[in-house]
A and B are shown apart, each in its own frame.
Chain A
Amino acid sequence: KAGVTQTPRYLIKTRGQQVTLSCSPISGHRSVSWYQQTPGQGLQFLFEYFSETQRNKGNFPGRFSGRQFSNSRSEMNVSTLELGDSALYLCASSLGGPESGNTIYFGEGSWLTVV
């Protein structure tokens, strides 16, 4: 069974640009969450989608947005990139979220460097 797939794995962007990251969850999983990981702040929750609806959101500025498609694939977008957005972005999927007693599985992450 295929795991969580994230693309691209590595990317370099310039300040002010925007970036879109993609996540394909495990087949059958309808909940997709996104996390940002930095050495200074650790792992921080961005948002969660279930059946194309955002159910939860972390404390990030509006430059960070996401969406989920009918096949449960998800994308996150960061506009007007800042140097501080350099991070590992992790996508996670589960059947219905941990609040339903479901295990959460992560992808390999997308390493974003902003120069």
Chain B
Amino acid sequence: AQKITQTQPGMFVQEKEAVTLDCTYDTSDQSYGLFWYKQPSSGEMIFLIYQGSYDEQNATEGRYSLNFQKARKSANLVISASQLGDSAMYFCAMWAGGTSYGKLTFGQGTILTVHP
């Protein structure tokens, strides 16, 4: 079974500062992928970044980077230069196993609040 743990129910950051959202995962599969999504209060789940288990370099997408530490089974999201519009719920998710068609396992989420 797969499990995602996000230990920070809420995080606060000052505008223009960087923030790290924690995510640890557990799986016995060698092949897996890790996602981060942003969910504003409107409900839409917005894709931010993806890291495959065999990717040697940490993924980056604009202001988002994923700090992937395979031995520690962690996949933390780093948001640089926070903006007020970054305030939202953030979810870490994982697929694992070749037959887990379409299935993502999600963490409980972290609410990020960006202060001006």
In the bound assembly, the distance between CA atoms of A88 and B41 in angstroms comes to 12
Interface size for B (C-beta < 8 A) is 28
The interface-forming segment of B14-22, B42-50, B65-73 is B42-50
A109 near B43: Cβ-Cβ < 8 Å: yes
A101 near B99: Cβ-Cβ < 8 Å: no
Q: Which residues of A have CB within 8 Å of B52?
A: 101
Within the complex, what minimum Cβ distance (angstroms) separates B47 from chain A? 6
Q: What 4 A-B pairs have minimum CB-CB distances, sorted nearest first?
A: A48-B102, A106-B45, A98-B95, A33-B102
A94 closest partner in B (C-beta): B102
Which listed residue (B31, B35, B103, B109) contacts A33, Cβ 8 A?
B103
Which of A43, A48, A94 is the most central at the interface, judged by chain B CB atoms within 10 Å of its CB? A43
Known contacts A43-B91, A98-B33, A99-B95; is-contact A105 B102 (Cβ 8 Å)? no
A55 near B44: Cβ-Cβ < 8 Å: no
Within the complex, what minimum Cβ distance (angstroms) separates B55 from chain A? 10
Within the complex, what minimum Cβ distance (angstroms) separates B65 from chain A? 16
B47 near A106: Cβ-Cβ < 8 Å: yes
**Can you report 22 residue pairs joining A to B where beta carbons are below 8 Å apart?**
A33-B103, A35-B104, A43-B91, A43-B104, A45-B102, A45-B104, A48-B102, A50-B102, A56-B99, A56-B101, A56-B102, A92-B45, A97-B102, A98-B33, A98-B35, A99-B101, A101-B52, A103-B47, A105-B47, A106-B37, A108-B44, A109-B44
Tell me whether A61 is interfacial, beta carbon within 8 Å. no
Tell me whether A62 is interfacial, beta carbon within 8 Å. no
Query: Could you tell me which residues of chain B, from 25 to 82, have a CB within 8 Å of some CB in chain A?
Result: 31, 33, 35, 37, 42-47, 50, 52
In the bound assembly, the distance between CA atoms of A32 and B50 in angstroms comes to 18
Which of A88, A94, A101, A105 is the most central at the interface, judged by chain B CB atoms within 10 Å of its CB? A101
In the bound assembly, the distance between CA atoms of A107 and B42 in angstroms comes to 11
Q: Mark A67-96, 1 if CB is under 8 A from B, else 0.
A: 000000000000000000000101010100
